[in-house]
Chains A and B, each alone.
Chain A
């Protein structure tokens, strides 16, 4: 490992070192506020480091890319971690979370996500995916006194472990067929694999299954609603944004590293996308629990992403990166509102608890409305531009049928997102919930500003994301 490698790894190193330090400090000092504040500082420093170090050309140890693509996601996930920690400040304190461990785990998982988004080798993919999933196993059931939290943790662990098994076996098969772990060669080897080609394809299928678990593609989605519901709201935010987003970015890296090499997998991916969008839409419709609703709707969003990945075109990849960004921001805003309305009694997950909140807490209701509309794809929000980019890339690539289905799914998505909005502004007497801290309001303001800015003036971000993709 050269000096250059270390420099390229600097953002991740900052996250990991900071996390380790805070973990140690947390063993002696139990006061949560300074620890979480330290975590926020570490995440922000990591984001700044990622922004300032010049992108090196070489790969780090042949495992991770240090290209602008990886750098962009390192910044994004570090900032996400910082915002989630800001949201956790009161939430974790009220629930007496062991702050040192909590902060450290969130930073570790951000580091894992940053690495995963730039993995160029199957080994790197496996290592980084497992490193942040391990952190999330603990985080999901961090609230020790919560029964549904424990259930969620167990489900996530068992199904995640199965996915890990699939992944390891898939990688082994790919290695057997192609003789390399390095992604472009491994994909290229698929075409020249000769007799071992079927095994290689099976390996790729298994790898996709494992990634499908993480971004909850149907039929590997069964854990999603329970885990979303049971995990503490800030952790759910991390699951929804970083975890899914990093795997999405990894998919772009994997599929984009050798265009055309995975033609055989296209029908399979097509079917996965179709099933994911349909099941997600239909299951989201009757939900009465906001977290479960967002869980099912997250399936639909992953389906949209697949729709644009399928053509294998630079436009599609650029659109996916753009969409991942606006999706992360809007999800963070939605879960942020949920977090800031939570009090020691619990989270107001049931829609019934949200009746009339638009009049009692108008600002946060507006933020939630804007974020949900962005998720639905309303013009003026980033979600519209994102979907526009995704679907036009899909249509351009010849996947018109799937794009039409995706647009149909987004019509249905308006039905369930609007139901929440209508509940917010129904005329019943609103319940009293937490009035939120200034810091929480600031985080929400950041999210809603980003949602509107990417909708009104998306040009710069579109150009940036288009320039990032391989």
Chain B
């Protein structure tokens, strides 16, 4: 393992999970002083990010399927082990998680209500997400998968908008329904594998060896995909998502919510596709169809919304439709595009949500009809908004473009029809994003509006790195693609 030569021996992956958790506990213990909590949370997220960057630099050229691996016995009776593994895919996603959490903590700076608890939950969420992206034992994965729901439930349910309780519980139950289907499929797979090989184990590497009759494979694949499709969200299962995203607290939690969607895609790539290759192969056209429907349906829904946050929520579904299309095209180019788009979409949409939060805290509204004429009042904020909106619609030279073009190219190579069908979707995207920009930045300003202050230093600190990243990844996405080359499970 080449990684070991440059990196000191240490359970780095456990540290990625444990550090935010420790930060969360410290935050709760220091809940008397809000200022201390802020700095604690910021220090924790920055440290986690630093480790992620360190791992990226040290391990990105590793060979073999796993760049780093940790393994320990946990519940021997059921063959459950504490196994963490880092490969190119999880490397990118942990990096994204760590980065967005720094942004989230900075955005949460002005939060007034119960700040320590808020920050603690954000950190617990980070810990859960890290676990999801690193676990390669199925039960361990399931554990993190469920546990990350809890902080999200509380973040939406306590700090959310007007319909927060309903949105929170709905979000929780929807995703839980999928997870439980996955649990049944997991147990069934475990028992089938045990009956075949004589050794009962939940390790991904072992379960990959299972030979299944096609019917069983379909059923189990369905169980896994239900969980991931609800989380992703794939179109018929997406109804929880706009509510959850628009009710999620503006100060920091919402761009993290975007990360939850990535866990669904990640689950497909890591577990569902490799475990059930035959079922996957047969399901690809269906997946592509759903992805295309999602792309259009969500773009159309976004066009019809007046609430800025809901527009962005639907735009997430629409973008993820493109990501799924790339996966369904099943060739290297499209897959790399999908993963790249997943990461850049996290950055760009996270930034857009951040800008909307800043907008909302100034104007007190998210309704397009009550906004407008912002450019004259706050040109810096407006410029940032425009910049990220353009990045989101895939302007060449900005982050999303590279991913989108790779997805379309790859898809066109294997399934030209799908790619041609997807193209008008991008026009839709342009339509709703331009409507969004037009409705907020230009037009007449509402008469009764007080003067709007422009961006503060803290807000610049949030946005500037994101702007740099957006430009950088748009011009030179190769560093992100490099670690993906050795990822197992890609076609």
Chain A: residues with CB nearer than 8 A to chain B? 359, 373, 378-380, 384-385, 388-389, 391-392, 395-396, 400, 403-404, 407-408, 410-411, 414-415, 418-419, 422, 425-427, 458-459, 462-463, 466
Contact of B143 among A379, A392, A419, A463 (CB under 8 A): A379
**Can you list 6 contacts pairing A with B, beta carbon distance less than 8 Å?**
A373-B150, A391-B187, A392-B191, A415-B173, A418-B172, A463-B77
Q: How many residues of B contact A (CB 8 A)?
A: 31
Which of B10-18, B152-160, B225-233, B242-250 faces chain A? B152-160
A411 near B180 with CB under 8 A, answer yes
96-155 of chain B: CB within 8 A of chain A: 113-114, 139, 142-143, 146-147, 150, 153-154
Q: Given the complex of chains A and B, what is the CA–CA distance between A419 and B157 in angstroms?
A: 11
Is the CB–CB distance between B143 and A380 below 8 Å?
Answer: yes
- Contact (Cβ within 8 A) B143 A422: no
Are B191 and A459 in contact (CB-based, < 8 A)?
no
Give Cα A466–Cα B76 distance, bound, in whole angstroms. Answer: 13
Given A385-B75, A463-B77, A407:B172 Cβ within 8 A: no
- Known A379-B142, A396-B191, A425-B157; judge A459-B172 contact (CB<8 A): no
Check A422 against B147 for contact (C-beta < 8 Å): no
Tell me if A395 and B173 are in contact (CB < 8 A).
Answer: no
In the complex formed, the residue of A with least CB distance to B180 is A407
> Do the beta carbons of B177 and A422 come within 8 Å of each other?
no
Asked if B401 lies at the interface with its beta carbon under 8 angstroms from chain A, I say no
In the complex the two chains form, what is the Cα distance from A385 to B80 in whole Å? 11
Binary CB contact string for chain B from 161 to 184 against chain A (1 if under 8 A, 0 otherwise): 000010011001100110010011
Nearest 6 pairs between A and B by C-beta?
Answer: A379-B143, A379-B146, A462-B77, A392-B187, A407-B180, A459-B75
Which residues of A are found within 8 Å of B188, using beta-carbon distances?
Answer: 395, 400
B78 at the interface (CB under 8 A from A): yes
Q: Are A378 and B150 within 8 A (Cβ)?
A: yes
**Contact B180 A427, beta carbon cutoff 8 Å:** no
Which residues of B have CB within 8 Å of A403? 184
Contacts of A378 in B (CB 8 A): 146-147, 150
- Asked if A411 and B77 make an inter-chain contact with CB atoms under 8 angstroms apart, the answer reads no
- Total A-B pairs in contact (CB under 8 Å)? 72
**B168–A422 touching, CB < 8 Å:** yes
Q: B69-80, CB under 8 A of A: which get 1 and which 0?
A: 000001111100
Q: Which residues of B lie under 8 Å from residue A396 when comparing CB positions?
A: 191
Inter-chain contacts of A418 with B (CB < 8 A) = 153, 169, 172
Q: Are B158 and A425 in contact (CB under 8 A)?
A: yes
Given contacts A392-B191, A410-B180, contact A427 B158 (CB under 8 A): yes
- Choice from B113, B150, B169 contacting A419 with Cβ under 8 Å: B169
A407→B184 contact, CB < 8 A: yes
Complex Cα gap A391–B78 (Å): 13
Tell me, yes or no, whether B271 is within 8 Å of chain A by CB.
no
Instruction: Identify the B interface with A (CB < 8 A).
Output: 74-78, 113-114, 139, 142-143, 146-147, 150, 153-154, 157-158, 165, 168-169, 172-173, 176-177, 180, 183-184, 187-188, 190-191
Measured CB to CB, the nearest residue on chain A to B139 is A388
Nearest neighbor of A403 in chain B, beta-carbon distance? B184
The CA-CA distance from A380 to B113 in the complex, in Å, is 28
Which of B74, B139, B184 gathers most chain A CB within 10 Å?
B184
Determine how close the nearest CB of chain B comes to the CB of A367; give it in whole angstroms. Answer: 15
Are B78 and A392 touching (Cβ within 8 A)?
yes
- Complex Cα gap A388–B190 (Å): 12
Residues in B whose Cβ lies below 8 Å from that of A427: 113, 158
Given known A418-B172, A419-B169, contact A411–B147 (CB-CB < 8 A)? no
Residues of A within 8 A of B158 (CB): 425, 427
Contact at B173–A414, with CB atoms within 8 Å?
yes
Q: Is the CB of B157 within 8 A of A411?
A: no
Residues of B within 8 A of A404 (CB): 184
Complex CA–CA separation, A392 to B183 (angstroms): 10
A407 touches B183 (CB 8 A): yes
B32 to chain A, nearest CB (A): 13
Residues of B within 8 A of A419 (CB): 169
Which residues of B have CB within 8 Å of A392? 78, 187, 190-191
Contact across chains for A422 and B77 when beta carbons are under 8 A apart: no
Q: Is the CB of A459 within 8 A of B74?
A: yes
Instruction: Report A-chain residues with C-beta under 8 Å of the C-beta of B183.
Output: 388, 391, 407
Q: Which B residue's beta carbon lies closest to that of A427?
A: B158
Find out whether the CB atom of B143 lies under 8 angstroms from the CB atom of A395. Answer: no
**A414 CA / B165 CA spacing, docked (Å):** 14
Contacting residue for B78 out of A380, A388, A407, A408, CB 8 A: A388
Among A359, A380, A396, A422: residue with most chain B CB under 10 A? A422
Q: A415 contacts which of B147, B153, B169 (Cβ < 8 Å)?
A: B169
- Quick check: A411 and B177 within 8 Å, CB to CB? yes
Of the residues A379, A380, A422, A462, contact of B157 by C-beta under 8 Å:
A422
The one of B113, B165, B172, B176 in contact with A426, judged by C-beta atoms closer than 8 angstroms, is B165
Give Cα A414 to B172, complex, Å: 9
Tell which of A373, A379, A459 touches B76, judged by Cβ atoms closer than 8 Å: A459
Shortest Cβ distance from A214 into chain B, in angstroms? 30
- Distance (Å) between the CB of B381 and the closest chain A CB? 30
Closest-CB distance, B172 to chain A (whole angstroms): 6
Q: How far is the CB of B467 from chain A (nearest CB, A)?
A: 36
> Which of B75, B147, B168, B188: most chain A Cβ within 10 A?
B75
Contact B176 A411 (CB under 8 A): yes
